[in-house]
Structure 1
């Protein structure tokens, strides 16, 4: 029986500032069925407040405890380990890390820096890693669906470049990290086997969730999905569905079982 639902945001609920058709209604159906929701996003360009405001403008109200982002996980990690961040992130996200300047040593934090990625910024991060800084990746997604509808390079390519040059492997805090999925369920009193993930990324969302022990993971044909994605990664999706509305049908049929 399904007792909790984890939802990706970009590509599942919305494309940028545009809601995906039927998504708001699907979320309401899940709430009406008393299924607890967690929105687990690898978005690393926007602060939490902006994400919540964007969703509210689409008619989707999300409580603070329902939203999990890699930046939030990174802030907790930095505090727990007493590290000050050397940031290679989007300028809009930098303010999220204010107040963490007093750590005993440094950690390079890499997110989707967008146009801020460049030789100079990557080389500064590389030199910090060479000097002994810890290596933290907010996510390792290969691509994202850009504003023009095409796929663009995501954080993973730049994390891989730093990993290759430094010979260091990062701590990954967003999807597909098992800890990220399990932290979303931590306060729900729901075992992973009774939870389902819905995403548009067959690798980070779907294979990541199943590898973390979730009972099911659905791949939608919206967002970054491209034909054949369902066969490219292991574990394969529990089901391939058209969109969040179809995923909701699938979930509610099994939640009532």
Structure 2
């Protein structure tokens, strides 16, 4: 294997757990900076602008700047600017992510008539915005020729009072009704990692993904041609049943106890 020039790091479960920083995480980031690695942070977060997320991470002692964050909205916006320059994009998402879509011509739900034909329908972390009215608006735009793009296809997530339906089932409903396949931009999709590499400026074979999720982080990165490590401070560890069933080409090249061990690992790689 060749030299590693770039590092992508997941955030939750790698740098912090429930907003408590992982011991040694800040020191590992300082080491990457001091040794000249290109590095960025990747996350499927869809409802928080990267400026907001960076501020929260700095508040817990992690040296993260907004321009180092590649979120699902950031990757989505980069793709839209590159593939649909100047084209109207109908966006359904919540949160304060509007700043991440600078340079993209956005059409708000309810304002889709009277202007240039919408080129792409984008579904993010929309939650209560996924009403029948908005779903029908999206459906009509798709039937009129727009393409479908989703920031992720998560089925559900857990909150304090139990499980909550996510955007994935609604995206699937639009796929079924329109007959169009959504391009999914979040991890573990290849499109996400390709956009991350473009923003980082490194090639797949010289880039290492560090994550706690075997599917979203490790397998997604390996399928996109990146190298990958698993850390044991989050979802999966060496005893995970998923690890036992991974194909050799989708396994992590090493398993570390935490991101604190990353500098030693990289130093051994030369």
| Range of TM-score over shorter length | 0.7 to 0.9
SS at match of 1:10: coil
SS at match of 1:132: coil
Q: What is the match of residue 93 of structure 2?
A: 89
SS at match of 1:83: coil
Aligned-pair Cα RMSD in Å? 3.2
Out of 204, 209, 215, the residue aligned to residue 216 of structure 2 is 204
Kept in 1, the 8 Å contact 2:78–2:195? The answer is no
Decide whether aligned partners of structure 1 residues 159 and 230 sit closer, same or farther in structure 2, where only a CA change above 3 A counts: farther
The alignment's TM-score, normalised by the length of structure 2, stands at: 0.77
Kept in 1, the 8 Å contact 2:39–2:200? The answer is no
Unaligned runs of 5+ in 1: none
Kept in 1, the 8 Å contact 2:40–2:68? The answer is yes
Q: How far off is 1:236 after superposition?
A: 2.5
Unaligned runs of 5+ in 2: 108-114
Kept in 2, the 8 Å contact 1:14–1:20? The answer is yes
Q: What is the match of residue 170 of structure 1?
A: 182
Most deviating of 45-54 and 30-39: 30-39
- 1-structure distance, mates of 2:58, 2:22: 14
Q: How far off is 1:210 after superposition?
A: 0.9
Q: How far off is 1:85 after superposition?
A: 2.8
Out of 193, 215, 231, the residue aligned to residue 181 of structure 1 is 193
Q: Higher Cα Rg: structure 1 or 2? A: 2
Kept in 2, the 8 Å contact 1:22–1:245? The answer is yes
Deviation digits for residues 171-222 of structure 1, max 9, x if unmatched?
Answer: 22232343432443346664321211012222222111111111x2122333
Q: Does 1:126 align with 2:139?
A: yes
Kept in 1, the 8 Å contact 2:228–2:253? The answer is yes
- 1-structure distance, mates of 2:160, 2:45: 17
Q: How does 1:25-64 map to 2 (within 5 A)?
A: 25-64=27-66
Decide whether aligned partners of structure 1 residues 224 and 167 sit closer, same or farther in structure 2, where only a CA change above 3 A counts: farther
Kept in 1, the 8 Å contact 2:9–2:40? The answer is yes
SS at match of 1:46: coil
SS at match of 1:213: coil
Q: What is the match of residue 110 of structure 2?
A: none
